[in-house]
Amino acid sequence: MFYSLDLLGTIAFAVSGTLTAIHKKFDPFGVFIIAFATAVGGGTLRDVLIGRTPVGWMLDLNYVYAIIGATIFAIIIRKKINYLSTSLFLFDTIGLGIFTIIGTEIGVQQDLHPIICVALGVVSATFGGVIRDILCNEIPVIFHKEIYASACIVGAITFLALSTFNVPVNINYIITSLIVILIRLISVKFKLSLPTFIADTKG
């Protein structure tokens, strides 16, 4: 199930990146680059940080094939999507939930401290989106707007907590992913966000 979820998250983020690039009116090459960076950016950074090289997608071409397929799929259905921003949000949220547990689980497999495991979960889930937004000349969502990384932190902590109680791993995957997704959906639905700092311009 771990491998299946990893592929599913890759596909979800690839679609998210493709829709973003289409919205920005990129050419086909630009669309694929954004899709690829979104799909594997976070996982690549995670693997480099823990010295897990070559990184995952270089050892298994199924990830590359999945990205290519997801990109083509998103391009084909782009005219049938009436609400592009809604679809983008949905696929981004699914990828966020899945990659949080993938990154956290990999940290556990490496026998790293729980805090580092949580950090790897956040990196895996969010940095593909960060790279996507930077390449598209946007302020990354993680730095503003809705609750984003915070949802990943809650999900990663939940995953570790359930693991200590020996909850079956597949059930843990499902529960944790759904928690991240629900937090994200609720925060956007009710426009919840963390407080921001305002610079004092007086004087």
Q: Give residue-wise pLDDT tens across range 161-178.
A: 999 999 999 999 999 999
Could you tell me if residue 203 is inside a domain?
no
DSSP string, the chain: -HHHHHHHHHHHHHHHHHHHHHHTT--HHHHHHHHHHHHHHHHHHHHHHTT--S-HHHH-THHHHHHHHHHHHHHHHGGG-S-HHHHHHHHHHHHHHHHHHHHHHHHHHTT--HHHHHHHHHHHHHHHHHHHHHHTT---GGGSSS--HHHHHHHHHHHHHHHHTT--HHHHHHHHHHHHHHHHHHHHHTT------------
Asked whether residue 96 is assigned to any structural domain, the reply reads yes
Asked whether residue 39 is assigned to any structural domain, the reply reads: yes
The whole-number pLDDT of residue 89 equals 85
At residue 15, the pLDDT reads 92
Model pTM above 0.75: yes
pLDDT, one tens digit for every residue, the chain (203 residues): 789 999 999 999 999 999 999 989 999 999 999 999 999 999 999 999 999 999 999 999 999 999 999 999 999 888 776 556 677 788 899 999 999 999 999 999 999 999 999 999 999 999 999 999 999 999 898 887 668 999 999 999 999 999 999 999 999 999 999 999 999 999 988 888 888 777 666 65
112 vs 42, 117, 118, 158, 160, CA distance in Å? 18, 6, 10, 17, 12
Interaxial angle between packed helices 114-135 and 28-49, expressed in degrees from 0 to 180 and rounded to the nearest 10 = 160
Which pLDDT belongs to residue 2? 87
Residue 163 lies in a domain: yes
Residue 200 lies in a domain: no
Q: Is 30 within the bounds of a domain?
A: yes
Q: Is 127:45 a contact under the CB 8 Å cutoff?
A: yes
| Domain-located, residue 197 | no
Expressed as residue numbers, the domain containing 166 is: 2-189
Please give the tally of structural domains in the chain.
1
- Measured distance CA(89)–CA(106) in Å, rounded: 26
Query: Does some domain include residue 199?
Result: no
